[in-house]
Amino acid sequence: MQDAVLARQAMARQRRGRWLAHAALALGVLIFAFPIWITLVGSTHDAATIGRGDVPLLPGGHGLENFSTALGEGGGRMHTTPAAGMLLNSAIMALLIAGGKIAISLLSAYAVVFFRFPLRMAAFWTIFITLMLPVEVRIIPTYQVIVNLDLFNSFTGLTLPLIASATATLLFRQFFLTIPDEYVEAAQLDGAGPLRFFRDILLPLSVTNIAAMGVILFIYGWNQYLWPLLIINDRSMETIVVGLAKMIGSGDTQNEWNTIMATAVLAMTPPVLVVVLLQRWFIKGLTETEK
């Protein structure tokens, strides 16, 4: 009898706990979404409303013109680059970085796992060391290398130094180590050479890992800030994240905030869509690389 009472109490407590959990999560979701909501709302009002400090909580009717100004003209008074061009530049940069990192990491992981040659481990550790040398701690000398190689203001200079990847190499290496020896033996019996094996067997098996890595690296590439800030001063090559920050300047009240907010929405839409739509691969990529 007493047990039944205790059990009922425990169940009531659990139900209450679950209800509280939902309330807390809903609050968390709201707080997380709030800055985005305000930005979305701000991108649909005119500059005067925002400048007065009267940003309402609901969208207004100037969305279309704000977005077309942002895309086609940029922040007029400050003569910033139009967002359409910057979006294209960011897309090129992100795809080159993600594609480049995946390509050279697949090749080097293949070499390290499927061959034996002198200095194999030395090569592996050289790649590994790049983990410890983020661009932020070697800004000036890397910049000098770019200037010496005449890569300033070029997509090569913007992306090439960022495509070395210890993380991707480690991930592919780990995956390659799990491929059964029988696959290699079978391929060898059939007379397939190493390149044939790589193309016809290894690459198709790696598709999920490539997709997972691709999602993470696309976001990494799209969100680059310090490097484009240093390497690009040609406005036609400006990327959208850097361009947006430049539009803000020192945060003057007179800024054309409506255009800036529309540009902010444009700047975060592609990576956010990638994360939300490709969530499965995103989480796989995040948890398997652990960095």
Between residue 149 and residue 168, which ones bind another protein under the rule CB under 8 A?
160-161, 163-165
Regarding 3 and contact with another protein (CB under 8 A), the answer is no
Regarding 91 and contact with another protein (CB under 8 A), the answer is no
Single out the segment in contact with another protein by CB under 8 A; choices: 17-25, 58-66, 69-77, 200-208.
Answer: 17-25
CA atoms within 13 A of residue 127's CA, in its CB half-sphere: 24
155/98 Cα distance (integer angstroms)? 14
CB of 65 within 8 A of CB of 244?
no
Regarding 72 and contact with another protein (CB under 8 A), the answer is no
What is the closest distance, in whole angstroms, from the C-beta atom of residue 125 to another protein in the complex? 11
**Binding pattern for the stretch 24-43 against another protein, x by CB under 8 A and - elsewhere:** xx--xx--xxxxx-xx--x-
Regarding 64 and contact with another protein (CB under 8 A), the answer is no
Regarding 208 and contact with another protein (CB under 8 A), the answer is no
In order, the DSSP letters of 206-226 are THHHHHHHHHHHHHHHHT--H
- Which listed residue (84, 123, 201, 211) binds another protein by CB under 8 A? 123
Single out the segment in contact with another protein by CB under 8 A; choices: 48-56, 60-68, 77-85, 204-212.
Answer: 48-56
Regarding 281 and contact with another protein (CB under 8 A), the answer is no
- Which listed residue (61, 191, 204, 251) binds another protein by CB under 8 A? 251
What is the closest distance, in whole angstroms, from the C-beta atom of residue 188 to another protein in the complex? 8
Among the listed residues 289, 282, 276, 267, the one whose alpha carbon sits nearest the alpha carbon of residue 83: 267
CB of 204 within 8 A of CB of 144?
no
CB of 72 within 8 A of CB of 82?
yes
Q: What is the longest distance spanned by two Cα atoms in the chain? A: 85
Backbone angles phi, psi at 74, to 5 degrees: 85, 180
Residues 6+ apart with CB under 8 A from 37: none
Taking the least distance from each CB to another protein, the nearer of 109 and 237 is: 109
What is the closest distance, in whole angstroms, from the C-beta atom of residue 16 to another protein in the complex? 10
Regarding 225 and contact with another protein (CB under 8 A), the answer is yes
What is the closest distance, in whole angstroms, from the C-beta atom of residue 234 to another protein in the complex? 17
What is the closest distance, in whole angstroms, from the C-beta atom of residue 100 to another protein in the complex? 9
CB of 208 within 8 A of CB of 284?
yes
Q: How many CB atoms lie within 10 A of CB 16?
A: 10
